[in-house]
Amino acid sequence: MTDYQIFADATADLCPEMLAGLPPVRFIPMEVEIGGRRYTYGPGGDLTVEAFYALQRAGNFANTTQISPGTFFPWFEPVLEAGQDLIYFPLTSGLSGTCQSAQMCVEDLRERYPERTILCVDTFCASAGQGFLIREIARKKAEGLTIGELDAWVRENSLKVCHWFTVDVFDHLRHGGRVSAAAAALGAALQIKPMLHVNGEGRLEVVEKPRGRKRAVAAQMARMDAGWRPELGKLVVIGHGDDPEAAELLKGEVLAVHPDAEVYTAPIGPIIGAHTGPGMLALIYWGDNR
């Protein structure tokens, strides 16, 4: 049986412990501009999570760029030349054109390497949700799934990954055009902490507008309590925008209600953090209420 390499990109937010002891996943770096300078985030990059949020808190706004088709070639081609197949799991196509860029590269490479299996599978997931799915993908490979079986498993299960985000500040949503200036000003005045989720098309939707962090966290917990399906998997990921204390508090609340959950906390990186800002909290689990 031909071995295969799993790829993801720098939008997949997870912590190293989540992949410990599992088959390797290669992450393609991405570019982010902040403070008048362009950086690379990911393997071999020159921007850390801590430095990024320090720049945001200093009043800088960030911009990101999707991965171009040509960027994939130096990552994918050596794997194919070495006799391996590959499968790439990008950020949801509902938020970025990276998936379409990858498909262009894949079509070209299939002509050059017709004997290889080369797949690009939309995750319909983002940030800590994408990291959540990547961890489960690596676990499935460790269980012995072939590349074709893994492709089918992701297509069947990716929409069972439930994402619930709360955003602490409106500034970065406003900068990215997600909310108007008037809505941002009103939300800040009323201490609204909007809760968003990634819907069945892989797009962001605002679903609630709780006032204050405490109510926002309670709203996240209510969604998990209603929809968590541990028979699908007990993994839970809490993502945070440079706020590990808040993440640990949410972790404690999850374990108090669901003590058998396997909970990890993970920082939200610059690619997604560019749009959500410091203090964002994400709660990700297997469920039926996406």
CA-closest candidate to residue 147, choices 264, 290, 272, 5: 5
What b/e string do you get for 89-102 counting C-beta neighbours within 10 Å, with b at 16 or more?
bbbbbbbbebbebb
Task: Give the pLDDT of residue 113.
Answer: 98
Q: In this predicted structure, what is the pLDDT of residue 213? A: 84
- 3-class secondary structure for 177-192? CCCCHHHHHHHHHCCE
User: How far apart are the C-alpha atoms of 162 and 289, rounded to whole Å?
Assistant: 7
d(CA 185, CA 102): 38
Q: What is the mean pLDDT of residues 77-105?
A: 96
- List the structure tokens of 74: 């130096």
Buried b (16+ CB within 10 A) or exposed e, 189-228: eeebbbbbbbbeebebeeebebeebebbbebbbebbeebb
pLDDT in tens, 95-116: 999 999 999 999 999 999 999 9
Pair type for strands 235-240 and 204-208: unpaired
pLDDT given for residue 206 in this prediction: 84
Nearest CA to 167 among 156, 176, 155? 176
C-beta atoms surrounding 108 within 10 Å: 17
Nearest to 219 by CA among 171, 253, 261: 253
Angle, helix 244-257 to helix 213-227, in steps of 10 degrees? 40
- By residue count, the chain amounts to 290
Whole-number pLDDT of residue 186 = 44
Enter the tokens of residue 193.
Answer: 């902490």
**Non-local CB neighbours of 90 within 8 Å, separated by 6+ positions:** 8, 9, 11, 67, 96, 98, 99, 102, 120, 122, 123
Say which DSSP state 58 is in: T
pLDDT of residue 171: 67
Residue 184 confidence class, pLDDT cut points 50, 70, 90: very low
Residue ranges of domains in the chain, CATH in brackets: 4-158 (3.40.50.10170), 160-286 (3.30.1180.10)
Average pLDDT, the chain: 92
Query: Per-residue pLDDT for 185 more than 80?
Result: no
Orientation of helix 147-157 relative to helix 128-142, angle to 10° = 140
Helix 98-112 vs helix 69-81: angle between axes, to the nearest 10 degrees?
40
